Structure formats: C-alpha cells, structure tokens
Amino acid sequence: MAKFKFTLAAAVVLATSLVAAQEPSEAEAIYSSLQWEAGPGNYDVTNKASIDLPAGFDRLNSSDTAALMELMENPSSGSEYYVGPEDGRWFAVFSYEDTGHIKDDEEIDADDLLYSIKEGTKYGNEERRKRGWAEMQIIGWQYEPRYSDRTNRLSWAILAESEGYEIVNYNTRLLGRTGVISATLVTDPETLTTSVGEFENLLDGFSYNAGDLYAEYREGDKLATYGLAALVTGGAAAAVAKGAGKGLFKAIGLGILAFFAAISKFFKGMFSRRQSA
C-alpha cells in the first residue's frame, strides 16, 4: 500500500471494511503480533508526555501503532501511540508536532472555520478519488471548537457524511511549551457522547514531561507561525497557505483528508476475542 505524508495532527482514518489486499487470516496474524501494554500504569504517549492508564485500558508503542494503522488502511508517520479500552469500544491516537509555542489568545470564529473546511473538502475529495476512497461531505459541527486555558486543550468535532453513513471526527490538541500533541478519538457515532466522556476522563491523567509544560514557556523559545484556528484547519499547511485563496482550501483539504468512519465488525471481533483470551 502506497504511503503519503502528513501527520495525524490532521486526523485518523478507520476503514469500514477489511483491507482489500489482505485475507482475514493474514490480518489476524498481524493483529495477534501486537504487543499490548495494559493498565494500570504510566506510559509514554510520544517522547514529550505520558498518561496514566487505569485497569482495563491498553497502550501500543509507536511501531505497533504504525502496524495497526497500516492494517486499518490509515496513514501513519510511525510516531503515533495508540491508547484505548481493552474491548476496543473506542481508541485514541496521540502524536507530537514540533510547531513551536502556540499563543492561545486568538479568537475562534466557528462559522468562518466551517466554511473553510467545507471548501477544503472539495479539494480533499479530489485526492480521495485518486486513491479510490469514498468522497465525503461536511454537514456541520458536532461540537464547535472550544479551548480551555486551564488545561490548554482545544477540542472540536465535525459531522460529515460518506456513502450514506454519518462520520464524526473528534479532535483534541494539547498545547505544550514548544509544540502540540494531537489526540484523535475514534469511535462509533452512536456512542460518541459516552466515548467523549470516557476519553476526557482519561485525559485527566495526561501530562507533559517536566520542562515541556505550556506554562514553562520561556522568552527565546521557538514560536509557532499560527494560532488556535489553524490547528482546526490542518495546522502548518493551512497557515502557510493563508491568504493564498485556493491554496488555503487545498491545504485544508489535505488536512481533513483522513476522516475516520465507524469501527468495522471485523476489528471489533478481534478486540472481543483478545479480551476473552
């Protein structure tokens, strides 16, 4: 499978069907080879932060996360970390981007952002067609972007539609001293509210390493060239193209290229069998 390059700071894809090029036995063998690390315990999620996992939760290191993403037809930079409950009812993928310190004093215009995302989706669909992927349409916000200056978290969720199915993409950006960690939640739309609640509770156990906290910014640290709004529309690519007309929308289109769909029955079955074992 050909790879293309962008980070999961943009999003995570989960295929709704088994990888076409692989037989179920081959996929199961790859899945069975993954080295799951179980809670309770404190585990790295990138080399900048860690998270406390309670009992009933798992974590995969970066190489095993990449293998799982490949199995699910997801783009991977090879530096993501998987975290989620053992039964696979949802999971999250964490990745770090060295953006520089992002100032959090920017006002967010949700309507303006939604317009940009809808326009960008048109260009994203061009790329999806080239790759043989289903196109998608943006319906609107499931949750408008919201930022907490207490936790330095930016979260939002977009509702989209593809091939008659609704898709929800829930994103959190965790701001640090000189970069940002993307935490993308993958779940069924029907269980979104419950999954978000569990995910947010899990994030209470997240922390940057000493020296990397947002509040530890020092004069002279690298500064990001964009603010909170660009994190919603794709980060650096959208910021570089800002003011460039169609260039901006193309950058956003690539950023939202990787929406996820519902977890397939095949993978749910594997999670269930692993839990029973």
- Residue 233: its pLDDT value, please? 80
pLDDT tens-digit readout, 77-87: 778 999 999 98
Cα(222)–Cα(86) distance, rounded to whole angstroms?
A: 38
Whole-angstrom distance, CA of residue 262 vs CA of residue 264 = 6
- Which residues lie closer than 8 Å to 84 by C-beta, 6 or more apart? 57, 58, 90, 91, 92
Q: Is the pLDDT of residue 197 over 80?
A: yes
Segment of 65-79, 194-208, 226-240 carrying the highest mean pLDDT: 194-208
Side-chain-side CA neighbours of 22 within 13 Å: the count stands at 17
More confident residue, 169 or 262: 169
pLDDT of residue 275: 63
**Residue 265 burial class via C-beta count within 10 angstroms: exposed 0-12, middle 13-18, buried 19 and up:** exposed
Output the pLDDT for position 55.
96
What is the distance between the terminal CA atoms of the chain, rounded to a whole angstrom? 31
Q: What pLDDT shows up at residue 45?
A: 95
- Residue 227 amino acid letter: G
10, 12, 16, 17 alpha-carbon torsion, rounded to 10°: 110
Residue 44 parent element (H or E): strand 41-44
- Cα–Cα distance, 267 to 28 (Å, whole number): 9
CA distances from 41 to 4, 57, 85, 155, 165 (A): 34, 10, 14, 26, 37
When the pLDDT of each residue in the chain is averaged and rounded to a whole number, the result is 78
Which is higher by pLDDT, 206 or 272? 206
Closest to 85 in 3D by CA, of 185, 204, 235, 220: 185
In angstroms, rounded to a whole number, what is the distance separating the alpha carbons of residues 55 and 79? Answer: 25
Q: Show me where the domains of the chain are located.
A: 24-276
Tens digits of per-residue pLDDT, 252-269?
A: 444 443 444 434 455 666
